[in-house]
């Protein structure tokens, strides 16, 4: 490339690197995780030969069986005999074994709400359950790359004491506790399409391992209920089947339990109506916990309706006579440790002993943590907690005060929960400053390259003003919750304003009116395809936005959505075929490209047709589609144009015009005196009309990515997303440069929200991770993460890849750019720079809001997730804009060289110009 082109690219990279440094610094200050202590609680035998680490508290059981049913909500475990068969939902009354056991032996069985601490993702919940600690907000990222747990926990503690630990089920446990299990049967966990492989493996090994009676701790983790929720939703008939399997499992396990064994059946988190989880709504945090033993051990008088998940670690540890994990913040479940008293002499009951051991452990952890962390715990808070701990030892009239213990545990828990939301203000200020400075610098560059005179133009000032207002709404949690609607209104405003200003310049055609009305209609109908977030109380889930697989086969909506999924590839394919026949000759290379794209469309159609029928065939079709897309891009990158070098010693010769009704088979260029030229080439791959030579290359570059995104999005969302993208491309083709940049920035987020996403973790579509990728293996997980990211930020990808196409106005011939190559490079760089500046400016306001409102009540529920999504969206935008910019430069340069080799007289072409080009010319002359 020319030196100026390298300068354009390098300057863009410099701005991106600066912004990345600002993001990194701000993230280190804003998303800090707590300090993990690797201290271990010792096992001290007060009496020689005692089976317990605490001589004054004998273990209640010798063995424990823990069955984790992923996403097992509390209401899934309830049984209501008053409900009729017609009124029962698919997940109700499906586990009657629990109700039967509790009614028959209330001192042997109990049911609790098992309250999870957000984020409600599996890895964080396993960590909280086994250690009794609180994961921080940023730990949610570890759910997809689980690393071993270094903190003290009851799993490794059991093994360290020389006892056997057996595991079966979700392989996440093997990653978290490597080299810990005596016997293990792990199964891959990330394939949400599979409902039975993991569960069947658990059922195959669970009963035989219980019968062996050799394991102190047996852990099983079933995934069918969670995967059913992700794939079909909560109300699908498959959910009823999976819950019945859980009921049969409980019945089988109860028959085999010995008197010295206790059974825990628990959910690690809940799920929403659509089967999602990760947030802190009641549906997501209210899991279920069922406890049973053939030996009576439950104090019915002390039963509470709900317990926290952090309470499980100290409870199980003391029931088995093991040390409580060092970092635990939970308190024991009182009903499992009876209080024994007599009238003549007060005895130290197991409950009081367990509470004292628990309180000493929590107090010791807090003292140790305050020493290591320094300023995290203030001296006043440490003194207050020490005072509360001292009060637990103060008896009143010879009776221990249980409420003192409860007050101490509650205060310690809430205090640690508050201090672990700590920030590094210096890093945050530095990050915001760097990003803000970069945005200002980019804006100045954009102004200088566009021309300062445009600031007096309404059509230029208006999108800037609307964008700034939109950026300032990031300071409101209400606007962030309703951002999907706000973005929709801004997009509709831009469509109307551009139509009105275009009408003032020239009378709009019928096609323009139809296009505008259709675009506005689609934008208004997006309400029916959006997904709701918890805070949107007025939002209702439409049948168009639920998982396609959750619809009943043969129903009206099933057929409608299946047809919609077929219309999109057919429509896009028909458009491509028309473009191909108009612009590209049927040579060898164009045939290969044509069939590669056609194959992608056919495979997209086939994927819709076999959905939910054959997983193997579905996988093969997806892989073939990826291969076709890859071939198309390799072809385009290596040979970006279809104008070939002429054969040696071949000169332009006059050509007789074709007869009326017949199509000429040669390339023709019309000069001012109406002479026609034919150029013989090395093969038949040529552009028929130079007026669209560059446009067809840029459109072909974007086309495979559009089909790929449509494949990941599915039926309804792919239809609305691609349709709005194409209509917006046509509608804003002749807009001013600033209007294009602002509209395309808004469009990126519009497509994000109305492709079924929200800036909250529960709305991530995990099914996209398995479009053509099987489960298991590190390499597959990397690909799966890429697929999920691509599907989640498909709006940003589609907007970025089509950004270079925006400067090619529909009414403009590309010959104009060939006649002014320096203007093309400058305009392309300016558009891409402005687009990056728009997203960087929004990122700056999101960062500033997170910093200013870091102590806001909604910081972790709304502002922090919004910041994370904004960072990822900006990163994805950059990763797509840069290749699109480089390809556009390469395609244009190659086209110029090919046209020069063909000796085409460009100076004799006439090219129409839009207002944008007049602006650029005037600004260039003004600087000269």
Whether 46 has a pLDDT exceeding 50, the answer reads: no
Question: Domain residues of the chain, as ranges?
Answer: 3-25+425-656+666-927, 62-338, 340-422
Highest mean pLDDT among 540-544, 608-612, 671-675: 540-544
Instruction: Note the pLDDT tens digit of each residue in 595-610.
Output: 555 556 555 555 555 4
Q: 808, 776, 777: which is closest to 198 by C-alpha?
A: 776
Whether 317 has a pLDDT exceeding 90, the answer reads: yes
Q: How far apart are CA 261 and CA 206, in angstroms?
A: 14
- The residue ranking higher by pLDDT, 411 or 573, is 411
Could you tell me whether strands 286-292 and 109-115 are parallel, antiparallel, or unpaired per DSSP bridges? antiparallel
pLDDT of the residue at 451? 58
Cis peptide before 180 (omega within 30 of 0): no
Residue with tokens 């440094």: 21
Once rounded to an integer, what is the mean pLDDT over residues 386-390? 83
Q: How far apart are CA 899 and CA 734, in angstroms?
A: 26
293, 3 contact by CB (below 8 A): no
Whether 170 has a pLDDT exceeding 50, the answer reads: yes
Q: How far apart are CA 463 and CA 796, in angstroms?
A: 19
pLDDT of the residue at 85? 78
Q: 751, 906, 915: which is closest to 815 by C-alpha?
A: 906
pLDDT band of 437, cuts 50, 70, 90? very high
Quote the tokens at residue 730. 């046509």
Once rounded to an integer, what is the mean pLDDT over residues 429-455? 79
Tell me the helices (H) and strands (E) count for the chain, helix number first.
30, 10
Could you tell me whether strands 183-187 and 217-222 are parallel, antiparallel, or unpaired per DSSP bridges? unpaired
pLDDT of the residue at 136? 65
Burial class (CB in 10 A: 0-12, 13-18, 19+), 223: buried
**Torsions phi, psi for 97 (to 5 deg):** -60, -35
Question: Which has the minimum average pLDDT: 35-44, 414-423, 575-584, 691-700?
Answer: 575-584
Q: 752, 759, 843: which is closest to 799 by C-alpha?
A: 752
Q: Could you tell me the CA-to-CA distances from 34 to 37, 418, 847 in Å, in that order?
A: 9, 11, 21
* Side-chain half-sphere exposure of 279, counting CA atoms within 13 A: 22
pLDDT band of 108, cuts 50, 70, 90? very high
Residue-wise DSSP of 387-439? HHHHHTT--BTTB--HHHHHHHHHHHHHHHHHHTS---HHHHHHHHHHHHHHH
Strand arrangement, sheet containing 109-115: 183-187, 165-170, 217-222, 63-69, 261-266, 286-292, 109-115, 306-308
Homologous superfamily of 62-338: Alkaline Phosphatase, subunit A (3.40.720.10)
pLDDT band of 47, cuts 50, 70, 90? very low
pLDDT of the residue at 234? 87
- Max Cα-Cα span within the chain: 124
Highest mean pLDDT among 460-464, 714-718, 876-880: 876-880
Cis peptide before 580 (omega within 30 of 0): no
pLDDT of the residue at 903? 64
Instruction: Note the pLDDT tens digit of each residue in 228-244.
Output: 988 888 888 899 999 99
- Note the pTM of the prediction, 2 decimals: 0.75
Residue 404: partners with Cβ closer than 8 Å, 6 or more residues away:
388, 391, 392, 394
Whether 304 has a pLDDT exceeding 80, the answer reads: yes
Report the share of the chain in percent with pLDDT over 90: 30
Q: How far apart are CA 745 and CA 798, in angstroms?
A: 11
Cβ–Cβ contacts within 10 Å for residue 622, how many?
Answer: 21
pLDDT band of 397, cuts 50, 70, 90? low
Could you tell me whether strands 217-222 and 63-69 are parallel, antiparallel, or unpaired per DSSP bridges? parallel
Give the residues across from 220 on adjacent strands: 67, 168
pLDDT of the residue at 387? 83
Once rounded to an integer, what is the mean pLDDT over residues 304-322? 94
Q: 924, 876, 834: which is closest to 8 by C-alpha?
A: 834
- The residue ranking higher by pLDDT, 589 or 499, is 499
- The residue ranking higher by pLDDT, 883 or 542, is 883
Question: Which has the minimum average pLDDT: 106-115, 303-312, 680-689?
Answer: 680-689
pLDDT of the residue at 563? 66
pLDDT of the residue at 545? 61
Whether 198 has a pLDDT exceeding 60, the answer reads: yes
Quote the tokens at residue 693. 């030579």
Whether 379 has a pLDDT exceeding 70, the answer reads: yes
DSSP state of 861: I
Question: Which has the minimum average pLDDT: 55-59, 78-82, 110-114, 330-334?
Answer: 55-59
pLDDT of the residue at 645? 42
pLDDT band of 344, cuts 50, 70, 90? very low
Cβ–Cβ contacts within 10 Å for residue 468, how many?
Answer: 12
Q: How far apart are CA 560 and CA 177, in angstroms?
A: 47
**H/E element, 454:** none
């Amino acid at each position: 490339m020319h030196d100026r082109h390298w300068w354009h690219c390098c300057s863009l990279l410099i701005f991106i690197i600066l912004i990345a440094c600002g993001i990194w610094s701000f993230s280190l200050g804003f998303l800090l995780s707590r300090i993990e202590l690797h201290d271990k609680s010792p096992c001290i035998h007060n009496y020689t030969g005692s089976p317990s680490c605490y001589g004054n508290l004998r273990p209640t059981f010798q063995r424990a069986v823990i069955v984790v049913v992923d996403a097992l909500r509390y209401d899934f475990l309830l049984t209501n005999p008053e409900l009729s068969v017609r009124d029962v939902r698919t997940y109700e009354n499906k586990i009657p074994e629990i109700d039967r056991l509790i009614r028959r032996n209330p001192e042997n069985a109990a049911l609790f709400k098992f309250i999870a601490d957000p984020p409600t993702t599996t890895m964080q919940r396993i960590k909280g359950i086994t250690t009794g600690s609180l994961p921080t907000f940023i730990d949610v990222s570890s759910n997809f790359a689980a690393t071993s747990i270094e903190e003290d926990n009851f799993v490794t503690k059991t093994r360290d004491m020389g006892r056997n630990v057996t595991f079966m089920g979700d392989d996440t446990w093997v990653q978290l506790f490597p080299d810990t299990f005596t016997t293990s049967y792990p199964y891959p966990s990330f394939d949400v399409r599979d409902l039975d492989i993991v569960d069947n493996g658990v059922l195959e090994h669970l009963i035989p391992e219980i019968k062996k009676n050799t394991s102190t701790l047996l852990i099983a983790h079933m995934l069918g209920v969670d995967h059913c929720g992700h794939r079909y939703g909560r109300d699908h008939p498959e959910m009823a089947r999976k819950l019945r399997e859980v009921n049969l499992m409980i019945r089988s396990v109860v028959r085999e339990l010995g008197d010295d064994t206790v059974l825990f059946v628990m959910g690690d988190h809940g799920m929403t109506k659509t089967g999602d989880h990760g947030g802190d709504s009641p549906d997501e945090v209210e899991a279920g916990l069922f406890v049973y033993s053939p030996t009576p051990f439950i104090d019915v008088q002390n039963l509470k309706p709900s317990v926290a998940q952090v309470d499980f670690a100290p409870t199980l540890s003391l029931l088995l006579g093991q040390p409580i994990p060092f970092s635990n913040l939970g308190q024991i479940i009182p009903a499992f440790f009876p209080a024994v008293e007599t009238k003549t002499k007060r005895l130290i009951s197991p409950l009081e002993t367990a509470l004292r051991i628990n309180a000493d452990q929590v107090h010791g952890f807090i003292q140790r943590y305050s020493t290591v962390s320094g300023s995290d715990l203030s001296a006043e808070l440490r003194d207050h907690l020490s005072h509360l701990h001292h009060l637990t030892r103060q008896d009143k009239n010879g009776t221990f005060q249980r409420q003192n213990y409860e007050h101490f545990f509650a205060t310690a828990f809430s205090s640690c929960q508050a201090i672990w939301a700590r920030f590094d203000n210096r890093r945050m200020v530095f990050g915001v400053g760097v990003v803000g400075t970069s945005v200002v610098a980019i804006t100045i560059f954009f102004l200088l390259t566009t021309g300062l005179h445009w600031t007096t133009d309404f059509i230029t000032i208006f999108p800037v003003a609307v964008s700034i207002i939109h950026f300032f709404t990031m300071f409101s949690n209400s606007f962030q919750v309703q951002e999907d609607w706000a973005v929709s209104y801004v997009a509709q405003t831009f469509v109307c304003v551009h139509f009105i200003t275009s009408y003032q310049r020239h009378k709009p055609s019928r096609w323009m009116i139809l296009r505008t009305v259709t675009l506005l209609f689609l934008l208004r109908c997006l309400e029916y395809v959006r997904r709701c977030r918890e805070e949107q109380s007025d939002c209702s889930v439409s049948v168009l936005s639920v998982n396609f697989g959750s619809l009943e086969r043969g129903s009206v909506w099933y057929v409608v959505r299946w047809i919609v999924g077929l219309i999109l590839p057919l429509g896009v394919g028909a458009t491509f075929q028309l473009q191909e026949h108009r612009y590209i000759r049927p040579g060898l290379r164009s045939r290969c490209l044509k069939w590669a794209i056609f194959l992608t469309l056919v495979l997209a159609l086939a994927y819709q047709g076999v959905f939910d029928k054959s997983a193997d065939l579905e996988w093969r079709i997806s892989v073939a589609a990826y291969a076709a897309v890859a071939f198309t891009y390799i072809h385009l990158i290596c040979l970006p144009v279809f104008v070939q070098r002429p054969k040696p010693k071949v000169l332009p010769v006059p050509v007789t015009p074709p007869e009326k009704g017949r199509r000429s088979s040669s390339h023709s260029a019309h000069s001012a005196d109406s002479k026609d030229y034919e150029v013989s080439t090395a093969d038949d791959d040529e552009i028929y009309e130079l007026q669209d030579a560059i446009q067809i290359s840029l459109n072909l570059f974007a086309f495979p990515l559009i089909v790929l995104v449509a494949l990941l999005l599915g039926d309804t969302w792919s239809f609305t997303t691609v349709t709005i993208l194409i209509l917006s491309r046509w509608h804003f083709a002749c807009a001013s440069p600033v209007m294009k940049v602002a509209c395309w920035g808004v469009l990126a987020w519009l497509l994000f929200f109305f492709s079924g996403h929200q800036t909250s973790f529960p709305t991530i579509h995990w099914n996209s991770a398995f479009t053509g990728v099987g489960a298991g293996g590190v390499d597959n997980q990397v690909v799966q993460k890429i697929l999920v990211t691509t599907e989640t930020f498909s709006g940003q990808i589609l907007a970025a890849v089509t950004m270079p196409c925006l400067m090619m106005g529909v009414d403009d011939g590309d010959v104009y750019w060939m006649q002014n190559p320096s203007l093309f490079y400058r305009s392309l760089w300016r558009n891409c720079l402005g687009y990056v500046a728009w997203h960087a400016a929004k990122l700056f306001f999101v960062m500033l809001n997170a910093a200013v409102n870091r102590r806001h009540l909604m910081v972790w529920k709304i502002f922090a997730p919004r910041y994370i999504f904004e960072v990822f969206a900006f990163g994805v935008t950059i990763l797509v804009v840069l290749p699109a910019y480089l390809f556009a430069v390469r395609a244009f340069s190659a086209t110029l060289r090919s046209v020069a080799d063909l000796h085409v007289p460009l100076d004799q072409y006439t090219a129409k110009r839009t207002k944008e080009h007049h602006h650029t010319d005037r600004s260039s002359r003004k600087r000269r």
